[in-house]
Amino acid sequence: MKRNWLNYLPTIFVICIIVSLLAYNVQGNTVQMNYTQFESLSKHATFDDSNLDINDTVITVSGTYDDTHKKGHDPVEYSVIVPNTDENINWLKETLSKDGGSITINNPHSGDIWVNLLAQFLPFLIVAIFFYYMFSRMGGGSSQNKAFEFAKSRANMEQNVKTRFKDVAGCEEEKEEVKEIIDYLRSPKKFTDMGAHIPKGILMVGPPGTGKTLLAKAVAGEANVPFFSISGSDFVEMFVGTGASRVRDMFKNAQKAAPCIIFIDEIDAVGRQRGAGMGGGNDEREQTLNQLLVEMDGMTDNSGIVVIAATNRPDILDPALLRSGRFDRRITVTLPDIRGREEILKVHARNKKLAPDVSLHNLAQRCPGFSGADLANVLNEGAILAVRNKEHQITMDDLDEAIDRVMMGPAKKSKKYNEMDKKLVAYHEAGHAVIGLKLEDAEKVQKVTIIPRGEAGGYNLMTPKEEKYFHRKSELLAQITGLLGGRTAEELVYGEVSAGAVNDIEQLTKIAKNMVRVYGMSSLGPIQYADPQGNVFLGRDYTQGGSYSEGVAGEIDKEVREIVHQCEVKCRKILTDNRDLLDLIAKNLYEHETLTNEEIMNLMNYGELKNPNQKVEEPSLPPVPDQTTEKQEPEKEEKEEDEPKGIDQKDLDDAFNELTKRKD
């Protein structure tokens, strides 16, 4: 890694100090004297070699001398400056050469004046550079954190964005919504001629990993305009006014590069509702928001700057930020459906070496609820597993294991059950599987395993038979019944329950509470008793009282218990009626540890892991012949070749009889 030359300045500074000290020590042996002292010394001293530097006004005399008053001492170096007059020049020549000393006269103009000036000003220059370097490093070494650039914008500008719409899959409707932005940035005149105003801001809302940032970047790539990207937290600092200054600087830079796109990720970090702080608002954050509102003022026309923001908490944003004229358009980027997941897998599989048996459509069916980031992670985990297994291609088994790793974590194969626990887990997972097979509205069982993953001792991979936007009451009841399958199977077989169903109980309780409090699917009627999003904003919701009375709370608890009780009764009946299937699946799980959908269906239909009616075509390889076969086979072929293929006697008799009948 190349280091900046400024990093060497402290070392250079220390070296210069050492050299200066050494030069000072060298000069410290030279006796500096004035003209009077030198005149007194010249009366009794003996001068050796001397140098005269004659300037316009003064003469610099240097050399060595022996003091006759001090016997036994070494020659002493001296230096003196005398006025430049004719009398002094003659006196110096006479005095310095009286004892046979030599005199050297130097021309002061023969040396390089720039070298002399540099020698004089070099120490000051080094000190100045050192202090500038120290001040520039006060911000932590980053070019964006320097002391003189503290209030500058931290937005990163990318000129040539390579991302295009072909790199964004699974959100076709969302891409249609932003095409007008691309047309405006390319040719704004046709919009202004029609009297249309392009939205100043677009707010992208959706779960994490659905591709909001990627879509915003693709808009800049398709429009071929600069792309400024920054996070909402980059505006907030401990110094009041810094965030507002950065907002002003960001829009100032964007105006110079217009037309362009400003992308603010996680805008809820700076755009939360004002006046909602606990014990007082955050002045720095609110001032930053106020400046952002001013820069996005809806009273002026668009100056070629389109602001795109992303968040997964639109409910806590300030209403002034969401009004028309600022963020005019809201685009909801949802989780992809099966077709979208397949398209996303195709995009991320471009540089992957997939085996011929890999079906991206089947893989998409196994990943309901996965975001684009999750699907990319599945393919990446599959590639890593293929490398780990020293394979040349990514197989379907690698991708199947990758799905399990993304959902539940790596398999803990070293963790071994004792016999009792292994049978218990087998019956628990078999209970889930039986409910999925026998209950009409239940989800489809794709895979059952008792290999521990994460905090779970085993798990069922169950996917919906078809993806829907809304769930009916019967489907929600079927989900609760399926979640109760493991716990009910344990109680049915062993007469007691274990703590392994804690995650199932948590999920079914959440579904049952939503049915009563949010969806109105109980005898309490279509009344909502809770926030459907379930997200609490402390600054706004903490001080609010409950939305229902204590009596209603008791009725809600009663309805939740009634829903769970009805599902538990139904679950127990299904498992009791299908006890043989429960034992069969649990037995095979105990032996094989993992069962696929095909194997489970074979157990239900045929009682075996493999379909006995399915004929497996084996390759017809010729047997190894012995000596007898080698001798008889050619004779048989020759005999077949020698057989006549013409008209035999029987054919002639039949023809004769036929002619006789016709004659009669």
Instruction: Give the tens place of pLDDT for each residue, 587-642.
Output: 998 888 888 888 888 888 888 877 777 654 444 444 444 444 444 444 444 444 44
At 538 the pLDDT is 47
Strands 444-449 and 459-463: antiparallel
- Which of 277-291, 455-469, 562-576 comes out lowest in average pLDDT? 277-291
Q: Is 241 annotated as a binding residue?
A: no
pLDDT above 70 for 73: no
- Strand order in 103-106's β-sheet? 31-33, 76-83, 58-67, 45-54, 103-106
pLDDT tier, 178 (very low <50, low <70, confident <90, very high otherwise) = confident
The answer to whether 208 is a known ligand-binding residue is yes
Tell me phi and psi for residue 456, to 5 degrees. Answer: -95, 140
Nearest CA among 85, 64, 86, 84 for reference residue 75? 64
Confidence class for position 659, pLDDT limits 50, 70, 90: low
381 catalytic residue (yes or no)? no
pLDDT over 60 (residue 455): yes
Task: List strand residue ranges (DSSP E) for 283-440, in order.
Answer: 305-311, 327-332
Q: What is the mean pLDDT of the chain?
A: 77
Q: Give the model's confidence band at 34: pLDDT under 50 very low, under 70 low, under 90 confident, else very high.
A: confident
Which band of pLDDT confidence, cut at 50, 70 and 90, is reported for residue 278?
very low
Poorest-pLDDT segment among 75-84, 554-563, 617-626: 617-626
pLDDT digits (tens, 9 = 90+) for 567-580: 999 999 999 999 99
φ, ψ (nearest 5 deg) of residue 592: -105, -15
Which residue matches tokens 């002003």? Answer: 248
Query: All domains of the chain, ordered by start, with CATH?
Result: 5-129 (3.30.720.210), 151-275+282-332 (3.40.50.300), 338-408 (1.10.8.60), 419-532+551-606 (1.20.58.760)
What HEC string does 561-588 produce? Answer: HHHHHHHHHHHHHHHHHCHHHHHHHHHH
594 is in an annotated binding site: no
* Residue 432 near residue 448, CB atoms below 8 Å: yes
Q: What is the pLDDT of residue 460?
A: 76
Of 401, 460, 400, which Cα lies nearest the Cα of 425? 460
Q: Using CA atoms, how far apart are residues 444 and 26, in angstroms rounded to an integer?
A: 93
Q: At what angle do helices 485-494 and 473-483 cross, to 10 degrees?
A: 40
* More confident of the two residues 36 and 241: 36
R_g over Cα of the chain:
46
For residues 650 and 282, what is the distance between their CA atoms, to the nearest angstrom? 112
Q: Which amino acid is at 533?
A: Q
471 is in an annotated binding site: no
Of residues 427, 385, 425, the one with CA closest to residue 406: 385
Is residue 60 annotated as involved in ligand binding?
A: no
Give the separation between CA 158 and CA 225, rounded to whole angstroms. 9
- Which of the four pLDDT bands, split at 50, 70 and 90, describes residue 561? very high
Q: How confident is the model at residue 142 (pLDDT cuts 50, 70, 90)?
A: very low
Nearest to 331 by CA among 223, 482, 219: 219
Query: Can you give the pLDDT at residue 558?
Result: 93
Q: Is 69 annotated as a binding residue?
A: no
pLDDT of residue 628: 42
- Name, in order, each residue with C-beta under 8 angstroms of 418's C-beta and a sequence gap of 6 or more: none
pLDDT over 70, % of the chain: 75
- pLDDT of 82 reads 83
Q: Residue 102 phi/psi, 5° resolution?
A: -90, 150
DSSP single-letter state for residue 330: E
> What pLDDT is attached to residue 626?
47
How confident is residue 489, by pLDDT bands cut at 50, 70 and 90?
very high
Residue with tokens 């202004």: 192
**Catalytic residue of the set 429, 443, 559, 599:** 429
pTM summary value: 0.63
What is the structure's pLDDT at 535? 54
Q: Which residue has the tokens 């992809």?
A: 336
Would you say residue 414 has pLDDT above 70?
no
Ranges 49-63, 282-296, 387-401, 543-557, most confident: 387-401
Burial bucket for residue 89 (CB in 10 Å: 0-12, 13-18, 19+): middle
Is 580 known to sit in a ligand binding site? no
Residue with tokens 């000036």: 117
* Banded pLDDT at 282 (limits 50, 70, 90): low
Nearest to 462 by CA among 471, 478, 587: 478
SS (H, E, C) 489-511: HHHHHHCCCCHHHHHHHHHHHHH
**Token couple for 368:** 């309901």
Query: What backbone phi and psi angles, to 5 degrees, belong to 238?
Result: -75, -20
504 known ligand binder: yes
CA dist., res. 257 & res. 158, Å (int): 11
Query: How far apart, in whole angstroms, are the C-alpha atoms of residue 600 and residue 603?
Result: 5
Q: Using CA atoms, how far apart are residues 398 and 390, in angstroms rounded to an integer? A: 12
Task: Give the closest residue to 486 by CA, choosing from 495, 498, 476, 475.
Answer: 498
Q: Strands of 459-463's sheet, edge to edge?
A: 459-463, 444-449, 594-596
How does pLDDT run across 148-157, given as a tens digit for each residue?
566 677 777 8
79 φ, ψ to 5°? -155, 135
Q: Is a pLDDT exceeding 70 seen at residue 361?
A: yes
For residue 95, how far is the Cα from the chain centroid?
86
The DSSP line for 266-320 is SGGGT-BPTT-STTS--HHHHHHHHHHHHHT-TTSPP-SEEEEEEES-GGGB-HH
Helix axes 502-517, 473-483, angle to 10 degrees: 160
Give yes or no for residue 128 having a pLDDT over 90. Answer: no
Q: What pLDDT, in 10s, does the model give residues 242-277?
A: 778 888 888 888 888 878 888 988 888 888 887 655
Is 212 known to sit in a ligand binding site?
yes
